[in-house]
Structure formats: C-alpha cells, structure tokens
Amino acid sequence: MSSPTTRLCSICIRGGSQGVPNKNSLLIAGKPLFAHSIDQARRSGLFNAIAVSSDCTTLLALAKEWGADHVIQRPDELATHSAGKLGAIQHCIKTVETKTDSVFDTYVDLDATSPLRHTQDIIGAVHYHEKLIQQNPRVNVVTGCSARRSPYFNQLEETPDGNVTLSKQIGQTVLRRQDAPRVYDMNASIYVWTRQSLFENTGGVITDNTYIYEMPEERSLDIDTPFDLKIVKFLMENTEI
C-alpha cells in the first residue's frame, strides 16, 4: 500500500511594493490580501502545512493570526525589488524542511496578489501535476489563461529603425487571431513542483519541462497596479467568486 502524498504550500509576501504600496497587508473583503491565499490553501484540503515567507515581521505576525502553520523570515537579499521569486520560494521550503525534519512530495506556491482563484483551481493544478510526474519527475506546472493578444497577430515589437513588426512570425500571414498558435498569459497564481524540479531549477519558473494549467480569465487577474487593485477589490467585495 503506497503512502499518502504529502504537500507543502508556500505563500511569499514582501513588506514593500513598487506598484501598489504595502499591497499585501491591504484589507480586501474583510481580511489582509495575503490571508485569502491562506484560506484557499486550507479549504483545498490538500496540504500538510502552509508556510508564509516575508521580510516583514508585522506581516509574519499577521500570517500566524490568519492560520499559517509556519512563518519564515526571509533574508534581506531575497527581499529586494530586483530579487526573483524562485529564490524566496526555495528558501522558504528549505527552512520548513529543516524545522520539521520533513521532505514533501509536492510543493505549491500561491501568489498572494492573485486572490480571485478558487480552491478548485488549486486542486486541479495539483492533480494535473501529479498525473504528469508519473512520466517525468522533472515536470512543473504554472497557471495561466488564454491570451487576449497574440504575438503572431496583434502584438508588435519596435525595431532598431523605429518601425514595428509582429513579435512572432510563422512564415505566413495570420489573418485571424483564431488561426494563430494558441498562446497564454501567465496569471501568477499557482506554481507546482516536485522537490527535484524545484531545486534543479536555477533560472526562472519556466523550464523545458513546464506545463500550463488553464484558468478562466475572470480568475486570472494579478494585482500589479492601482487599477488592478480597484478591479479585484470590487469583484471580491461585490460578487460571488
């Protein structure tokens, strides 16, 4: 009889933000922004533990209040504006492993600035990943939605001469977006790895073994700007999501 799959969820939040100041602690629908991700992880019923990583002690204290099992102090060098997300996730996971003397089968990161996701999105992405790794343990999964604009049809790049050209071309003119190869917008919502796929990765979250789990557009908005915040806040406070 095989052992049950063990899973760790990480949620990485910084104290500061360039686009929307202090966005992770802003109250939306009655709770701090990041707390929605803790609730979604808990309601999914998937995780043995939920860890929140931050450079801000105030946020870490709040995370404990809102139900995080582990709060991880992030080193300053992983909390700068130029620091990538992957290093913070790896540090968080290694710290939890050391604290608990445990290694998990599946590692899932939820981005706190994508609170419109449903628990079913988390469950779907994790189960999709666990199906894929039966053939390749190096697989990781990211979430995204169908892109509104296509580099083969209506996304342009400026050339050194100052004119513009299509970002990608396939040797023939694409007259309709529907005829172009399908492309996705990463929605910065859910990332799923095995330990091997996570710690062998020294670059970004996209590798030669990355697959996408599609989410609907209405649950794929990531808060990067004050305008994004207004939309998310309105949706979460005025509709059933």
Q: Do residues 209 and 105 share a domain? A: yes
Q: Averaged in consecutive runs of 10 residues, what is the pLDDT profile of the chain (241 residues)? A: 83 82 89 96 97 94 96 83 81 96 96 96 98 94 91 82 82 71 91 93 84 96 93 87 54
The answer to whether 139 and 133 are in contact (CB under 8 A) is: yes
Q: What is the pLDDT of residue 162?
A: 83
Q: Do residues 86 and 194 share a domain? A: yes
Q: Do residues 100 and 80 share a domain? A: yes
- Mind listing the pLDDT tens digit for each residue in 225-234? 999 999 999 9
Q: Do residues 156 and 204 share a domain? A: no
Listed residue (213, 220, 214) closest to 235, CA to CA? 220
Write down the residue that tokens 């343990």 correspond to.
137
The CATH number for 103's domain is 3.90.550.10
- Its pTM stands at 0.90
CA distance 146 to 173: 21
Q: What is the pLDDT of residue 14?
A: 87
Residue 1 lies in a domain: no
Q: Do residues 141 and 166 share a domain? A: no
How many domains does the chain divide into? 2
Write down the residue that tokens 């504006």 correspond to.
81
Q: What is the pLDDT of residue 130?
A: 95
Phi-psi region of 30 (alpha: psi -120 to 50; beta: other; left: phi over 0): left
Q: What is the pLDDT of residue 35?
A: 96
- Axis crossing angle, helix 119-132 with helix 33-44, rounded to the nearest 10: 60
Q: What is the pLDDT of residue 104?
A: 96
